[in-house]
Amino acid sequence: MAGAFAAALLLSAMPAPAAAPGIDQEIDALTRRVEKLEGARAVKKLQRAFGFYVDRGLWDEAADLFADNGTIEIGMDGVYVGKVRIKDYLKRLHGNQDGLIYGQLNEWVTLQPVVDVAPDGLSAKGRWRDLGMLGQYKKHAEWRDGTYENDYVKEGGVWKIKALHLYVNFVAPYEKGWARLKPGEGLAASQTSKDFPPDRPPTAPYASYPDPEVAPFHGPNPVTGKPVVLGGAK
């Protein structure tokens, strides 16, 4: 009995077998992969939350999705910096009250997510399709088409919007539609940006529908790995 007890003590004192070569590296690689997948999922949830909050005029909630020094840029309105400025801009853009005006339609439908998380898992870029159904009951109705190219950052374990940039392709009257827009008619700086100037001018001018120009792609072709070179119709 005493011999068996001594043998057990000896075994318990022996070091555990070393991990097979490469196992640690494989575990690290899997951990990074899971972190990237979780990051992409969190970014998608974040961006969808922004759309739902703006849909219903929840300006505080929408602004709280941004980093403290986050920015927003919509069409040719210029760049607004910081949560307070972002909230005030969104609020003024939609009637300057908390919540929507009675009869206001403000659907920011967000589609086609392409999210790329950086290797360090602390930042990400995302491209989305914007479909807007806008208007005021018995007064007017509009369609909006655009593309987001956004930056995100992970701070204190929480994903936030670092830079939201919506390249508006057009805003067209519902009755007239986009087929009858004149060149340049579907994209203009809003009256809000004139009454409430941005912190910085627009990042770069661009052509809107019917010009085929599209927002620059943040990432390469996922199959070839080559940069996406933009070209317009001649």
Residues 117 and 41: their CA atoms lie apart, in Å, by: 10
Domains of the chain listed by start with CATH number? 23-195 (3.10.450.50)
Q: How far is CA 78 from CA 72, 107, 112, 115, 157, in A?
A: 8, 22, 25, 24, 30
d(CA 31, CA 27): 6
Identify the sign of the CA torsion 228, 230, 233, 234: negative
Tens-place pLDDT, residues 175-208: 999 999 999 898 999 999 999 999 999 998 898 9
- Confidence (pTM): 0.87
The length of the chain is 234
Q: Does position 101 have pLDDT exceeding 50, yes or no?
A: yes
Count of helices and strands (H, E) across the chain? 5, 6
Average pLDDT over residues 41-57: 98
- Ramachandran sector of residue 8 (left: φ over 0; alpha: ψ -120 to 50; beta: rest): alpha
26: confidence class by pLDDT, cuts 50, 70, 90: confident
* pLDDT (0 to 100) of residue 234: 36
99-125 exposure pattern, b = at least 16 Cβ within 10 A, e = fewer: ebeeebebebebeeebbbbeeeeebbb
- Identify the helix (H) or strand (E) that includes residue 5: helix 2-13
| Local confidence band at 79 (pLDDT 50, 70, 90 cut-offs) | very high
